[in-house]
Copies of this chain bind each other. A is one copy, B any other.
Amino acid sequence: MANSLTSFSSRVVCQIGLVVRDVEKSARAYAALLGVDVPAWVLTAPEEKSHIRYRGQTTQGRAKIVIFQLDNLSLELIEPVGGPSTWQEFLQTQGEGVHHIAFRIQGIDEQIASLEAKGLPLLQRGDFTGGRYAYMDSVAPLGVILELLESQPVPGDKSL
């Protein structure tokens, strides 16, 4: 498996994503640790807008998200709601923990195709205001889900 992975150009881990049971409770704990105000959670957009695909299927799966922007990356807290998703699957099978590490990339369709051709299946993808994301099923060779994050910067948006 090792040699079947392709290289990609990013050297920036821009986000660590943790799946949690209660995003408000977890956000309070991180805010207290970091000495910052507790951010409000936001709900990911519905499928009609996010175009979420989980294991190739449409889904009503969504998430309550809180993001802490640190100096060199962001910490994303994710509480799955609404239906099947990689977030819900992770919580059900592994409990709370680090769900993904995200690399900032460009050309997400080409990156997905390249990684899939080399043995890392696409697990979930979707759009959000300002960009697109894809989770690759990289747990077997890499021990963690890779997220590809492509941003289309929006003035004032700090969520990436």
Which B residue sits closest to A35, measured CB to CB?
B7
CB under 8 Å from chain B, chain A span 59-100? 70-73, 75, 94, 96-98
Known: A6-B33, A97-B143. 20 other contacts (CB 8 A): A2-B25, A2-B32, A6-B32, A7-B34, A9-B35, A11-B34, A11-B71, A12-B72, A13-B70, A13-B73, A13-B75, A18-B143, A29-B141, A30-B142, A72-B73, A73-B73, A94-B94, A97-B98, A98-B143, A98-B144
Q: Which residues of B contact A30 (CB under 8 A)?
A: 142
A-B contact pairs, 23 of them (CB 8 A): A2-B28, A2-B32, A3-B28, A5-B32, A5-B33, A6-B33, A8-B35, A11-B70, A12-B70, A16-B16, A18-B142, A18-B143, A18-B144, A20-B143, A26-B143, A30-B142, A33-B142, A73-B73, A94-B94, A96-B143, A97-B97, A97-B143, A97-B144
A160 at the interface (CB under 8 A from B): no
Contacting residue for A29 out of B33, B71, B142, CB 8 A:
B142
How many copies the complex holds: the figure is 2
A123 at the interface (CB under 8 A from B): no
Closest CB of chain B to A87's CB: distance in Å? 13
A108 at the interface (CB under 8 A from B): no
The interface size bin for chain A is 35 or more
Q: Which residues of B contact A8 (CB under 8 A)?
A: 33-35
Closest CB of chain B to A2's CB: distance in Å? 4
CB under 8 Å from chain B, chain A span 114-148? 139, 141-144, 146
